[in-house]
Structure 1
Amino acid sequence: MSSDRSGSDRLVPDRLIPDRLVPDRFGRDDALADAARDDHVDDGPSSSRRTVVTAAAVAAGATALAVLARGYGTYRAERDAAYARVDPDEHRVAHTPVGDVEHRERGSGTPVLVSHGIVGGCDQAMRVGSALVDDARIVAPSRFGYLGSTIPTYPSPSTQARAFAGLLDDRGVDDTVVVGTSAGAPAAIRFALAFPERTRGLVLLAAATPSDRERDGPTGPPTPLLRDPVFWLLRSRAPRLLRRLFGVSRGDWQRAAPADRDRVDALLDTLFPVAPRRAGVAVDADFTNLHVVDHADDYDPADVAVPTLVVHAEDDPLADFSDAARFADRTPNGVLRAYETGGHLVFGHGDDVREHVTAFVRDPDGYVAGTAPRSATS
């Protein structure tokens, strides 16, 4: 098992993240200048896949420039409204031993801590938690580098788990159900492993789980995409393309119930503004998503003693289904809820997912004991 240097708690973000990726506290991207500028520096080995993605990102930036030249007023108004939604004055900050954790909290009942995915934040975590479970106390932190959360020297998922524990201490929460989505799953798994006495249950949704396969291509969006104008363009002018990146086809979208469409729209709204999330994206792309593969032994499902519910779509283009299924199968108290379609957002199954996650949150042990067979597919 690999060592974890999570004991290094001094906060020095610039040792890990280049200064150009750390925005001023909610300093806005300049629309036209940033759309045109390519400040991407890639010192690592290149690949054809990375080259294609980067070229597409640069093209998107150029397109954004042209669109903004015609509709800058609209962009500016929607940008300012987006920044108002993530105003730091509207969030709480917990001062933990490994740094500041910005968070939101809502509701009452069983505590549910949500570890959000890449290009997320406490706003996304709250959206996910509210969509997943009824009658719960949602604790929604921003992970390292997202919005107002700081970055420690060694931002491993284990260190992030310690930050979660510090947040729960601050909020007076003894134990919780932990939900990990996408790139937020490694920290959720590490929390369950490090603090089993504080973990009522573990839910992994479209999760990045340990894999025995070699890494292939980039592990996060290329830097040229991480511009407010580009993300605004995708969200407001090319939503079908944005949904497609998450595995939602045009046909699935047209056939879906309005409630499922609303859930996806609400979630995608949390991707913008992107500037206050860039440092967190860099942590995930350069550290989190690599760590769960390169140090898979640190996430051994056989060591996860708490009740575990894994929810995953078989056609997920971003998080491999076979890895998730294997994790559920090897977890002593694990259950897999699988769907043939849905992509990375498990789209089209919102009501069913909510029903099962809510039942699990209310009684994790009872849910696992009463679910037969262990792997259910819809």
Structure 2
Amino acid sequence: MKQKLIAATLAVGTVWAGWQFTRWRQTRTAELKTKGTVVETAVGPIEYARQGEGPVLLVSHGGPGGYDQIETMREFVDAGFSVLVPSRPGYLGTPLSAGQTISAQADAMIALLDALGIEQVVTIGVSAGGPIALELALRYPQRLRGLVMLAAVSLPYQPNAETADSLLGKLFLTDGFLWLLDIGTWLFEQFSLRFPLPSAKMMIQTESNLPLEQINNHLNYMQRNPERIAWYKALIRSTGPMSLRKAGLDNDLAQLANILQLPLAQIPLPTLIIHGRADADVTYDNAQFVAEAVPDAQLVTLPHSGHLIWLSPEWDDAKNQLIQFLNQHQKV
């Protein structure tokens, strides 16, 4: 009798979980299709989101991601900027055909600006989106007022063995049936929404070389600042369903592994780099490379931060320096 009860409970639990997952996937897919805007450009359809009024910040998002990473940019909207986040090719509603290579993705960004009638922007490269921002600065400097790199890739990139072998690495980087990847991202999202601090601890441990004391400082900072918890939840939400982002992520990994050494000394723009010294994902030498190559580039080093600089107690000061930089170079 006891075994039958356990079996029945497991069966009911499995059916309930399957229903919850199916409802989540259907609801999120419908939501993502309705909240983004798709515009026809010279390179094909590009999906984007835009919030705020004022000078435009064009964000090249990290991976996995999409236009919905705009929800992690609210502090710049609050600071008086218009934030424009396209889904890069292969992510969500922008087909990979809109720009497979890094240079083609830069062309796609310009095609979007042309379609929207936007003449100039400051471009912000976030994590895996960094190389596209660098290409924009090199090839289209007349369309930019400045360049910002946030924990951004600039050198050939491959996930390190520790990251690839971690739970999160298996969740985001493993090939397999897309519905299994969706289940994984759903489970991690549910865990993160209910237990954001343990989830953030797992993420920070994976993507940094920080000692436990510094990781706990991050968690205490989040606990004191609920907007940081909201930021983290928005970041996690922007990773699923993975099936809608996998083409972009796979393409990113292929492109980032073969980054060419660009002539960054030719970038004529005001440039700001913010990077954590303890970043175990996009290592600090990426920031040093850009800072040493781009004339008069400003490097803001966060000594006790990993890849998720936005969750660090050092972020408040870094954000103030970033907003000051943006205000210095704004032009509607």
Instruction: Calculate the TM-score normalised by the size of structure 1.
Output: 0.70
Residue in 2 aligned with 1:207? Answer: 152
RMSD value, Cα: 2.8
Q: 1:275 to 1:325 in 2, by over 3 A?
A: same
Distance across 2 between alignment mates of 1:245 and 1:263: 18
After superposition, residues 1-378 of structure 1 pair within 5 angstroms as 71-86=17-32, 88-124=33-69, 126-132=70-76, 134-152=79-97, 155-210=100-155, 221-224=173-176, 227-237=181-191, 239=199, 240-247=201-208, 251-256=216-221, 257-258=224-225, 259-287=227-255, 289-292=256-259, 295-296=260-261, 299-346=262-309, 347-348=311-312, 349-364=314-329
Structure 2 contact 141–269 (Cα < 8 Å) conserved:
yes
Contact 2:53 2:81 (C-alpha < 8 Å) held by counterparts = yes
d(CA) in 1 for partners of 2:132, 2:63: 12
Contact conserved, 2:148 with 2:272, CA < 8 A, in 1?
yes
Once the two structures are superposed, what CA deviation does each residue of 1:69-88 show, in whole Å capped at 9, x if it has no partner? 663333334334432431x2
Contact 2:207 2:281 in 1 (8 A): yes
CA distance in 2 between partners of 1:82 and 1:215 (Å): 28
1:70–1:90 Cα change, 3 Å: closer
Q: Which amino acid aligns with 1:170?
A: A
In terms of fraction of residues, the more helix-rich structure is: 2
Question: Structure 1, residues 229-274: CA drift from partner, whole Å, max 9, x if none?
Answer: 0011122236243454343865244311323232222212211222
- Give the conservation status (yes or no) of the 8 Å contact 1:208–1:319: yes
> Does the 8 Å CA contact 2:90/2:248 hold for their aligned counterparts?
yes
Query: Alpha-carbon deviation of 1:325?
Result: 1.7
Comparing 299-308 with 130-139, greater Cα deviation is found at: 130-139
Q: Percent identity of the aligned residues? A: 27
Change (3 A) 1:69 1:131: farther
Distance 1:251 1:192, change over 3 A: same
Q: List alignment gaps of at least 5 residues for structure 2.
A: 1-12, 193-198
CA contact (8 A) 1:120 1:146 kept: yes
Query: In structure 2, how many angstroms separate the alpha carbons of the residues matched to 1:131 and 1:291?
Result: 33
> Which amino acid in 1 is paired with 2:182?
D
The Cα of 1:281 is off from its aligned counterpart by 0.8
Measured after TM superposition, the shift of residue 156 of structure 1 is 1.3
Residue type matched to 2:258 in 1? H
Seen in structure 2, the aligned counterparts of structure 1 residues 328 and 253 have a Cα distance that, compared at 3 Å, is same
Q: d(CA) in 2 for partners of 1:70 and 1:243?
A: 31
The CA distance in 2 between the partners of 1:207 and 1:234, in whole Å, is 24
Letter in 2 for 1:277: R
TM-score normalised to structure 2 length:
0.79
Deviations 1:23-72 (A, max 9, x none): xxxxxxxxxxxxxxxxxxxxxxxxxxxxxxxxxxxxxxxxxxxx856633
1:184 and 1:278 mapped to 2: Cα distance?
15
